[in-house]
Amino acid sequence: MYVFYNPNPSRKLVGDCVIRGISKLTNQEWKDVHLELCLQGYTMDDMPSSNSVWGSYLYKLGFRQYVIPNTCPDCMTVERFCEEHPIGKYLLATGSHVVAVENGDYFDTWQSGDEIVIYYWSKGEL
């Protein structure tokens, strides 16, 4: 279920999870996503890693945001999300991290499967 993924050209492992995740889901180069988010942040007077900035960028690409139901707020981990969503591409948001999911696998620089998902983006509910 976990797949190591790090498209960062300098192989840095922290601080760019949003860029890595969007890069994976959109098949864009890391530098291209970084530049696009910087430009989006510039137009919004905010940082590229801001939820509103990368959310606006994803929205422009046709992604939509979905909230995890609050019926069991601590039980929707990244791993469980992958089990329950074996088909499709998703960008999961936790309180402090972003993880790309594709067809039931999650792509990250570390095994973040125990992180709690708060909301996610996809190009449509499957």
Q: How far apart are CA 54 and CA 22, in angstroms?
A: 9
The two three-digit tokens of residue 46, written as one number? 């905010």
pLDDT score for 73: 67
So where are the chain's domains?
Answer: 2-122
pLDDT in tens, 44-103: 999 999 999 999 999 999 999 999 988 876 789 999 999 999 999 999 999 899 999 999
pLDDT greater than 70 at residue 43: yes
If you search the block for the tokens 């801001």, which residue do you land on?
50
